[in-house]
Chain A
Amino acid sequence: MNNFYDDIGIFGDRTAIITESREKITYSMLVSESDRIVADVESRRIAFIICDNTLEAITGYIACLRKRIVPILINYEVSKDLIVNLYEKYQPYYVYGDTQLLERLFDLSQFIKISQFRKYHFYKTDVKMEYKIHDELALLLTTSGSTGSPKLVRQSYKNIVSNTNAVVQYLNITEDDRAIMTLPMSYTYGLSIINSHLLQGACIIMNDFTLMNREFWQLLKDEEATTFGGVPYIYEILKKLRFERMDLPSLHYITQAGGKLSKELAQEFCAICKQKEIKLIVMYGQTEATARMSYLPWEKAEEKAGSMGIAIPGGAFELRDDNGNVIEAEDMVGELIYKGDNVTLGYAESYFDLNKGDERNGILFTGDMAKVDKDGFFYIVGRKKRFLKIFGNRVNLDEIEGLLKKEGYECICSGKDDEMKLYIVENNSENDIDNRIRNFIIGITHLPRSAFKILKISQIPRNEAGKILYSKLPD
């Protein structure tokens, strides 16, 4: 398999990117701009890319892959505190981003400007520390992007190439596809849409508007987007917008990942898409598996509604019980284990970990509990660890409880996807505590206010050993 990012120049005059301002960028231009901005940047160094969904950001990402610079993709909305923390932990040699934003984050007088691409600048930072980076390491991504954890996933060149090829194969992406961005590129699902379209010489329509903006729908229609991806809340929005009544003739297929749709919503969209002749492809993945692990072939969307489908080409699943034995029987729940070339190398907590090799050997314990039916289709039934998916972002409940505790709030976290519940003890007489807790959570996670519900309880339910009984919390 070839490294697609090295070879994309062959697509020449084809349009790679349509910018927010409707400008068409060819593959030749993408390649020449990429190579220009990193001409004086050293290989095998860490570069922060503080990215929004723009031409500049994608170009920086491709530039790094081509020159074997290792980028850490960080969403531009991440708080300054978290970015400063990441900076200390990873000691990046370079930062690349919108200059105005970088000015607010760093003392640029200490940095040296290397190159410029429109709004974005490449800077050499004041980092002098020498440390070794493993030859296979290609990219570092955050796991949740929300709770402020500096834990990053180490992805290799092989991981990216393998997963991108698999995605292209099962989605049958062609050079005529035009994907409109509905997800941030720092998020593995968004990034895999970019990668898979570039591999095929297809086109990416940059977009930072939400689905509630008229501009988004205008852009989709004018540029004749053939596809987009959505996490569950995007499907909630589509439902609210009466997607079934929209006239979108260019749209051929839509994908869904980043959390499980409720069965009702899945069935509803199956029916809508069938009627509109749009293929609906439900998928499952994790940053730890580069991006994707499974997909539900669109022909089966209706029959197997609620299923995460089957393993992607080149991958395989198995289920294991508590004792680590493989479960062969159907409808028996066990931990979902994935094997494939897209299983990432492991985690990093700081620059000390960047010279580590492959710690997983192609096997990923997903932490999800699943079962399989008689036809070999998998179904997620729960999670081993306590975390929720809030609008596509993974949020670890124990981590949130810990952060609240550090701030002096005795607060228990539970709930379901897209609705986190925070339980506080009733007799807490602190003024305006509801709002303060909520503001604190929003401040660190940058997730919408409506995702958090505060509930008061008379006391925290515990067992004799003092362990919190989450199942005893009121709804």
Chain B
Amino acid sequence: MMTDYKKYVGAFEESFEVDEEQAVNLTYQSIEAWDSIGHMNLVASLEDNFDIMMDTDDIIDFDSFNKGIELLKKYDINIEK
């Protein structure tokens, strides 16, 4: 079974065409692919992978790989490697 961590990293890999090593260091607008449209794709992908609907504030606050892990706890998703 796919772990939550894999699903989480997978959303980054899929949205920005990066590998895990790159993904963990990303912040919003740190790479060309993570712009407002990339962000929309990332959120869509996370919502699909975890079957959740994120709140507006969480979507806007989601500005790094690590911040996302923290925010997802609100949705009872605990991302651990």
Contact = CB atoms under 8 A, between A and B. Distances in A.
Instruction: Please determine whether chains A and B interact with each other in the same assembly.
Output: yes
Interface of A: 210-214, 217, 233, 236-237, 240-242, 245-246, 391, 442, 448-451
B2 interface: no
Interface string B32-47: 1101111111011000
A241 B36 contact: no
A194 B59 CA distance: 30
28 contacts: A210-B35, A211-B36, A212-B28, A212-B36, A212-B39, A212-B40, A212-B60, A213-B60, A217-B60, A233-B37, A237-B37, A240-B40, A240-B44, A240-B59, A241-B56, A241-B60, A242-B55, A245-B56, A391-B37, A442-B32, A448-B33, A448-B35, A448-B38, A449-B33, A450-B33, A450-B37, A450-B38, A450-B41
Contacts of A451: 37
Interface of B, helix, strand, loop or mixed by DSSP = helix
Given A214-B61, A449-B17, A237 B36 contact: yes
Nearest to A215: B60
A211 B61 CA distance: 12
Contacts of B59: 212, 240-241
A62 B40 CA distance: 35
A242 B56 contact: yes
Interface of B: 15-17, 28, 32-33, 35-41, 43-44, 55-56, 59-61
Chain A binding surface, main DSSP class: helix
Contacts, number: 47
Contacts of B61: 214
Contacts of B28: 212
Contacts of B15: 450
A449 B32 contact: yes
A455 to B, nearest CB: 16
Nearest to A214: B60
Nearest to B33: A449
B75 to A, nearest CB: 15
Contacts of A237: 36-37, 40
A236 B36 CA distance: 11
Contacts of B41: 450
Contacts of B39: 212
A240 B44 CA distance: 8
A237 B36 CA distance: 8
Nearest to B37: A448
Contacts of A214: 60-61
Contacts of B56: 241-242, 245-246
Contacts of B33: 448-450
